[in-house]
Structure 1
Amino acid sequence: MKKSLLFSLLAVPLVLSGCGTGGNEGGSTPSEDGQNGDGAGGETVTVNFFNQKPEITAQLEELAAMYSEQSESNANVTITTVGSGEGSAALQARFSSGDEPALMMLNGLPEIERYSDSLVDVSEMEVADTVIDGLLEGGTIDDTQLGIPLNIEGFGWMYNKDIFDQAGIDPESIESYDDFVAAVETLDSQKEELGIEEVFGFSGGENYIANQFSANFTSPEFNHSILDAYNAEELTWEYGDQMQKYTDLINEYNVQPILTVDYSRSVEELFVNDQVALVHQGVWIVPTLNDIDPDFAQEKLGILPTYGESDTEGRIPAGSPWYIGINGNMDEAVVEEAKNFIDWMYLSEEGQEMILNDLAFIPAQEGYDPEDISDPVSRQIYQAMLAGESAAFVHNQYPSGWFQQELYPQFQSYLNGEQSWEAFEENTSQAFSEMR
């Protein structure tokens, strides 16, 4: 039975359990092997955290400073950030050069497996006992838990509540694919009165959107399991008919040319300015919306599920795209301090305050009051995760390079009318098996 977070708010122990040396970044004078001292006698134990999300760098640096200031073990937590798609290569380069971080942010099971020989088992950490059921499997290799989920993200049909209300559509009444189609047709019939350009602002020009969209239909094939998706040798498109129906619907009622619509136009131009009613996006758009219209996420933003498994079974894909791994190649004192920092980050009162407010995360842990979560859509996703009613983030477990090299080009070709849906399924399925 999982411990409640109220219990876990008790102070995380900061006592180091052994002697050794730490990483050589930003700390005391290196020892002969290029690493810092173990904290004994006032020496600093440096823990470097390799971050692949530039947008949270300032918040992580603030957390690190707070922890270092109150640490009784003379800890120095530093943050190194490399993002914009270069983080994975930069992390590999750090390992190749021997300049390994103590903590690292890892994207999905393929990346976790790459470093599995270096990562420590996190199952006995205090924070692991509070993680929502099912999330830890996203950091598990060969039945060993090697990563702590950073947070929860979710995506689906983000809709504009005001536009739906003006059109006389009650989102609560949408309980099937047919209901969704009826809502789309109602919106389309009132475009002039509503002042919208089109119903959808689907970003056909972004390969990652096609990747995420596909998860609505591949998650049920893989039993809504990250591990099943990661271990799958083939993709048969068992629910491909559902994906085709949605794709055709989008293409009929979308801003055109659909393949020219990117994130900037979809979210920053059309959606936030009430020019489209629906986009296929996730909670990561909330900061963008807040920057443009601080009231939009709180008052206008809603999310609808996709009926990917059948016309009546709808789910919102949700999970953790990022996991924090702890490098067991470091000296024991550094490993223990890294564990302590992660426990403190997620279980201390100060850390939880940052997670809910400054970071605006959907927590990956049980025990939070949904009303304390930053916006209504994030609250809905958190509750769906707790209830076990979400689809899985299976798109992060596809064969390396498959969605960029095969899924997206084939999806583009279908949208352009250059090939049949049968050809799309056949070509992508074959490539899936070959690239696995």
Structure 2
Amino acid sequence: MKFKKTFTVFLTVLIMTLSLSGCSKSSTTNNSQTQTEKKQVKITVMNSKGEIQTQLEKMAKAFMNDNKDITVEVIPAPAGQSPFEKVSSLYSSGNAPTLSMLDPGDIVKFKDKAADLSSEKWINDSFDRSLDSAKVDGKVIGFPFAVEGYGFIYNKELLDKAYGGNFDASAVKTQKDLEEMFKKLEASGVGSIIVSPMDWSLGGHFLPLSYSTQSKSSDDVNKFIEDLKAGKVELAQNKQFKGLMATLDIMKKHNISKSSPLSGTYENGPEALATKKAAVWFMGNWAWPQIHELDAENNSYAFLPVPISNDAADYGNSEIPVGVTKYFILDKEQNSQEQQAAAKKFLEWIVYNQTGQDYLVNKANVIPAFKNITIESQDPLAKSIKKYMSKGKTLQFMVTLPSDHWSKNGASMQKFLDNKIDVNGLAKEIQEYWKNIK
């Protein structure tokens, strides 16, 4: 009996021990799961380059494959809404993106909300001057995402045919040369140019050519803008402005959509090029993904400058605007330290990871702002921009204009495109805009 009791006690203790051990193991497992769950971090990326939304989403997926503990959601900025307006509304609702893609001129407006990126590895690998717009109060608060350029995109195959041989873009240096080119295209049975009526294109890219062509000196160009604000400039008498609008008159005359100049959309441009309805389109290298998707076998596209006079020697007649046009800022107010660290990891992955570089250069067709990225782009428009850069044939890309410049002045430009106002009326509206800038 004594043995039986002893054995019973032993068995009871053993069962309790095993039971406790099981609980302990279960508890440890639960704690481990909880810790794993805590490690999972979600970041949001607000994208204001709608034409690469799909590419950025795929880039995010590739990053997540390499970083299982991080989830990246790419949020598009609605068409027609400026990045500043979109990000401001998200801050107001308490849902600020971890990373926000902004125009250079808007960075300073978020300086108190943006994290200091001055100590990040990629700083030393950035191209000279690529961080200029991102420096505020002695700190770098912006990641230079894209170098871009724009002008007349042309289909060389169609121009070779129109000219009966090898078309030499460098020979088109004046307004007369441009109109002769349009006429040759039309004589060959091809529409010459499609003019897109979007306010951001007319007001944000075309009109600023009248500013950047004022001088080779950035200081002089900035002085011109200050004089506009002070009401010291008579645009209707300004050589560069008058010349640029005379060029737009030529474009209007040969526009394949001139019967309904404001009805077009962004998508009409690449479609017109791909279907050979037009050989020329005023746009930037950001349009390559759409062109390539519709005309995958043709890599003969390149850029032609927008001439503003009939004097081939005038500055601007042989140059195109090039500059960093988009920066990411990292929110430090509404995103946790873990989210900020994950976002920094994402940016570093773009710059230094081979997959990240490939997505940036070959999938999104972005010209990188980093010297260490040596991948040769297959994008002919990027190659064309690099040629202008290598020859020093570039204009200042007016990236720090007020955030509403393109929408307000774009509306005035649309009136001019639709012949609702003349050049004097246009000049008056633009001057009024600048006089009201505070």
1:247 is the counterpart of 2:248 = yes
Q: Please say if residues 234 and 432 of structure 1, whose CA atoms lie closer than 8 Å, have aligned partners that are also in contact.
A: no
Q: For 1:177-256, what aligned pairs fall within 5 Å after superposition?
A: 177-178=173-174, 181-189=176-184, 191-192=186-187, 194-197=188-191, 199-203=192-196, 205-211=197-203, 212-221=205-214, 225=218, 232-235=225-228, 236=233, 237=235, 238=238, 239-255=240-256, 256=258
Q: 1:386 to 1:102 in 2, by over 3 A?
A: farther
- What is the DSSP-based 3-state SS (H/G/I as helix, E as strand, rest coil) of the residue aligned with 1:355? helix
Q: 1:262 to 1:348 in 2, by over 3 A?
A: same
Could you tell me how far apart the structure 2 residues matched to 1:259 and 1:161 are?
A: 25
Given residue 348 of structure 1, which amino acid in structure 2 is its aligned partner?
N
Q: Offset at 1:207?
A: 1.6
Could you tell me how far apart the structure 1 residues matched to 2:214 and 2:360 are?
A: 33
Q: 1:144 to 1:326 in 2, by over 3 A?
A: same
Could you tell me how far apart the structure 1 residues matched to 2:224 and 2:170 are?
A: 34
Greater Rg over alpha carbons, structure? 2
Q: Please say if residues 210 and 408 of structure 1, whose CA atoms lie closer than 8 Å, have aligned partners that are also in contact.
A: yes
Partner residue in 2 for 1:278? 280
Q: Please say if residues 173 and 307 of structure 2, whose CA atoms lie closer than 8 Å, have aligned partners that are also in contact.
A: yes
Given residue 327 of structure 1, which amino acid in structure 2 is its aligned partner?
D
Q: Please say if residues 130 and 324 of structure 2, whose CA atoms lie closer than 8 Å, have aligned partners that are also in contact.
A: yes
- Identify, as 1 or 2, the structure richer in helix: 2
Could you tell me how far apart the structure 1 residues matched to 2:241 and 2:268 are?
A: 25
Partner residue in 2 for 1:337? 342
Partner residue in 2 for 1:401? 404
Q: 1:285 to 1:240 in 2, by over 3 A?
A: same
Q: 1:101 aligns with which of 86, 97, 104?
A: 97
Q: 1:127 to 1:269 in 2, by over 3 A?
A: same
Could you tell me how far apart the structure 1 residues matched to 2:195 and 2:90 are?
A: 38
Q: 1:257 to 1:408 in 2, by over 3 A?
A: farther
Partner residue in 2 for 1:22? none
Q: Offset at 1:280?
A: 0.6
Could you tell me how far apart the structure 2 residues matched to 1:269 and 1:54 are?
A: 17
Q: Please say if residues 226 and 393 of structure 1, whose CA atoms lie closer than 8 Å, have aligned partners that are also in contact.
A: no
Q: Please say if residues 363 and 382 of structure 1, whose CA atoms lie closer than 8 Å, have aligned partners that are also in contact.
A: no
Q: Please say if residues 211 and 225 of structure 2, whose CA atoms lie closer than 8 Å, have aligned partners that are also in contact.
A: no
TM-score (norm 2): 0.76
Partner residue in 1 for 2:13? none
Deviation digits for residues 317-347 of structure 1, max 9, x if unmatched? Answer: 2233321111223444443332232112211
Q: Please say if residues 102 and 326 of structure 2, whose CA atoms lie closer than 8 Å, have aligned partners that are also in contact.
A: yes
Partner residue in 2 for 1:321? 325
Deviation digits for residues 100-132 of structure 1, max 9, x if unmatched? Answer: 33222223322x223210112323322222222
- What is the DSSP-based 3-state SS (H/G/I as helix, E as strand, rest coil) of the residue aligned with 1:174? helix
Could you tell me how far apart the structure 1 residues matched to 2:172 and 2:279 are?
A: 18
Q: Offset at 1:69?
A: 4.8
Q: Please say if residues 44 and 97 of structure 2, whose CA atoms lie closer than 8 Å, have aligned partners that are also in contact.
A: yes
Could you tell me how far apart the structure 2 residues matched to 1:45 and 1:383 are?
A: 42
Q: Please say if residues 202 and 413 of structure 2, whose CA atoms lie closer than 8 Å, have aligned partners that are also in contact.
A: yes
Q: For 1:35-74, what aligned pairs fall within 5 Å after superposition?
A: 43-71=39-67
1:82 is the counterpart of 2:76 = yes
Q: For 1:268-307, what aligned pairs fall within 5 Å after superposition?
A: 268-296=270-298, 298-299=299-300, 301-307=301-307
Q: Please say if residues 182 and 193 of structure 2, whose CA atoms lie closer than 8 Å, have aligned partners that are also in contact.
A: no
Given residue 242 of structure 1, which amino acid in structure 2 is its aligned partner?
G
Q: 1:294 to 1:226 in 2, by over 3 A?
A: farther
Q: Please say if residues 273 and 291 of structure 2, whose CA atoms lie closer than 8 Å, have aligned partners that are also in contact.
A: no
- What is the DSSP-based 3-state SS (H/G/I as helix, E as strand, rest coil) of the residue aligned with 2:406? helix
Q: 1:348 to 1:159 in 2, by over 3 A?
A: same
TM-score (norm 1): 0.76
Q: Offset at 1:434?
A: 0.7
- What is the DSSP-based 3-state SS (H/G/I as helix, E as strand, rest coil) of the residue aligned with 1:321? strand
Q: 1:242 to 1:101 in 2, by over 3 A?
A: same
Q: Please say if residues 233 and 433 of structure 1, whose CA atoms lie closer than 8 Å, have aligned partners that are also in contact.
A: no
Deviation digits for residues 204-223 of structure 1, max 9, x if unmatched? Answer: x3222212111222123476
1:428 is the counterpart of 2:430 = yes
Partner residue in 2 for 1:26? none
Q: 1:160 to 1:91 in 2, by over 3 A?
A: same
Could you tell me how far apart the structure 2 residues matched to 1:65 and 1:120 are?
A: 25
Q: Please say if residues 150 and 321 of structure 2, whose CA atoms lie closer than 8 Å, have aligned partners that are also in contact.
A: yes
Q: Please say if residues 46 and 99 of structure 2, whose CA atoms lie closer than 8 Å, have aligned partners that are also in contact.
A: yes
1:129 is the counterpart of 2:132 = no
Given residue 250 of structure 2, which amino acid in structure 1 is its aligned partner?
L
Could you tell me how far apart the structure 2 residues matched to 1:358 and 1:173 are?
A: 27
Q: 1:273 to 1:75 in 2, by over 3 A?
A: same
Q: Offset at 1:377?
A: 1.5
Q: Offset at 1:244?
A: 2.5
Given residue 254 of structure 1, which amino acid in structure 2 is its aligned partner?
N
- What is the DSSP-based 3-state SS (H/G/I as helix, E as strand, rest coil) of the residue aligned with 2:368? coil
Could you tell me how far apart the structure 2 residues matched to 1:317 and 1:430 are?
A: 25
Q: 1:160 to 1:432 in 2, by over 3 A?
A: same
- What is the DSSP-based 3-state SS (H/G/I as helix, E as strand, rest coil) of the residue aligned with 1:302? strand
Q: 1:363 to 1:41 in 2, by over 3 A?
A: same
Q: Give ranges in structure 1 of 5+ residues lacking alignment.
A: 1-28, 30-36
Q: 1:95 to 1:165 in 2, by over 3 A?
A: same
- What is the DSSP-based 3-state SS (H/G/I as helix, E as strand, rest coil) of the residue aligned with 2:436? helix
Given residue 194 of structure 2, which amino acid in structure 1 is its aligned partner?
G
Given residue 275 of structure 1, which amino acid in structure 2 is its aligned partner?
K
